[in-house]
Amino acid sequence: MANENQPRRMRSNEGLRKLVRETTLSLDQFIMPYFLVEGNNIKDEIQSMPGQFRFSLDSFLFELEELENLKIEHILLFGIPAHKDNQASGAYDPNGVIQKAIPEIKNRFPKLTVITDVCLCEYMSHGHCGVVKNEKILNEPTLFLLAKTALSHAEAGADIVAPSDMMDGRVRAIRHNLNEHGFSDLPILSYAAKYASAFYGPFREAAGSAPEFGDRKSYQMDPANIEEALREIKLDLEEGADLIMIKPALSYLDVIRAVKTTFHIPVAAYNVSGEYAMVKAAAALGYLDERKVVTEILTAISRAGANVILSYHAKDVATWAQEAGTPFRALFEKP
């Protein structure tokens, strides 16, 4: 006798699979990260992140023309200054790399959502995310500089500011400073659960932000903890965060799911540089089918509960979708 319950019936062809598919992906939910540097005519490929570049602003505007044609509408900017110091002065300089870039980008691409990373590590001579004294990262003096940096981004025209430092109270400090200066409507995307991860290695090469001493374990989260992440997120929401982020994504799918089911809020997840680099390296050696693996990874992040995905794969994904001439979800069956 045939089994009356046969799940395979609804998997027998693509039409049926689409009909009951629980997770779909859209380009609308992707944010493409970029690195901006001072200077002109610069498009410098990052060795550990094939296909990713450090751009000067003039070169970056050409990149954004490509991105516009690919229908990606959200970007995250990291600034890399020409000179660094122990007060991260380039982070909040009104003539800094990010502050100069935002109005140019918004003028040329008014529909583009410009999100700015608010952190100090790229601007600090010692590479840490905060003010240092006797090799200790000081929380309160760092909050002042973070709030100052976020305000400078707001004044330049950023659509969202995204603090990624993991200092205690940074969301409250930034929200208060924004409100005080007339930016109460500006959203804050908080890296609320940012883990002390080995997957950030390629990013640190790209941004020149490896710490000169020690590590970031005293302020970024212990990878072993999940309840702590829920406490961090609760605090950030209470302080005024509008959207929260889990970082990294792929190794922390359980955290994404726990956050989604606990708080029922929009959740972002960062598919970070090391996760990107692993796929690129394996694909270059012929060990993996890049398109299929990337699609599976991004689907897993979305399935776990992420509404928003920051990924260095975003431009590739958009290119594949355009080549296929179909919505992105059709790439599930790309030969």
User: What residues are labeled active site?
Assistant: 194, 247
Four-residue CA torsion sign, 325, 68, 320, 63 = positive
Which residues partner with 308 through β-bridges?
A: 268
Amino acid letter, 332: F
Question: In Å, how far from its chain's centre is CA 142?
Answer: 21
How far is Cα 86 from Cα 133, in angstroms, rounded to an integer? Answer: 10
Contact 121, 129 (CB under 8 A): yes
Give the whole-angstrom CA distance, residue 201 versus residue 221: 16
CA-wise closest residue to 248 among 229, 235, 262, 266: 229
Question: Is 166:221 a contact under the CB 8 Å cutoff?
Answer: yes
Look at residues 295, 265, 290 and name the one whose alpha carbon lies nearest to residue 27: 295
Q: How far apart are the first and last CA of the chain?
A: 36
DSSP 222: P
Count CB neighbours of 226 within 10 A: 15
